[in-house]
């Protein structure tokens, strides 16, 4: 894979701020897009795969590069100030969210697991570990087995005869 200089470059106004966009052909993989905010010098990158380009009916021509650049926007990801580059064209997958402490905390606080929150289920599993006090990797294995056995999304059905 070779990444020479940009095959397309443009200025773009996103969220009221000026950005410089550069597209790089990453044959055979697709296109790499870099966006730099001219005021803050924040840099955003996003790779668009060959499958995404095909699904969006884009070829590697100047007209389609222009069309891709016009479709760019910042999608919120995780926290309030965390943004990722995305395209509004049909066929483009949303960017993979970054794992952050804030998103993990939000997930653990709000995720439902059956009729209760995930944190409540996890707390019961951790209390079981505190009672038994297994050491090292055995603790992780025991917690994993406990979560599988006590999964509120897949309750055990006992048939009485």
Segments of 7-123 assigned E as strands: 8-14, 17-25, 30-37, 43-49, 72-76, 83-87, 112-113, 116-117
pLDDT given at position 40: 87
According to the model, what pLDDT value does residue 57 have?
A: 93
Q: Which of 58-67, 89-98, 122-131 has the lowest mean pLDDT?
A: 89-98
pTM beyond cutoff 0.75: no
33 compared with 112, residue with greater pLDDT:
33
What was the pLDDT predicted at 78?
Answer: 59
Q: In what order do the strands lie in the sheet with 17-25?
A: 8-14, 17-25, 30-37, 43-49
- Domain boundaries of the chain, sorted by first residue: 8-87, 111-149
Whether the pLDDT of residue 70 is over 70: the answer is: yes
46/111: higher pLDDT = 46
- Range 22-27 average pLDDT: 88
């Amino acid at each position: 894979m070779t990444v020479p200089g940009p095959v397309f470059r443009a200025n773009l106004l996103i969220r009221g701020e000026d950005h410089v966009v550069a597209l790089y052909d990453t044959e055979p993989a697709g296109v790499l897009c870099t966006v730099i905010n001219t005021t803050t010098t924040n840099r955003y990158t996003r790779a668009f795969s060959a499958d995404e380009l095909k699904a969006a009916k884009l070829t590697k021509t100047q007209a389609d590069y222009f069309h891709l650049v016009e479709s760019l926007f910042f999608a919120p990801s995780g926290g309030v100030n965390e943004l990722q580059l995305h395209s509004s064209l049909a066929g483009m997958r949303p960017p993979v969210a970054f794992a952050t402490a804030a998103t993990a905390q939000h997930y653990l606080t709000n995720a439902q697991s059956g009729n209760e929150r995930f944190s409540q289920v996890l707390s019961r599993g951790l209390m079981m570990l505190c009672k038994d006090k297994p050491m090292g990797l055995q603790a992780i294995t025991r917690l994993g087995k406990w979560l599988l056995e006590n999964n509120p999304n897949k309750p055990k059905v006992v048939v009485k005869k």
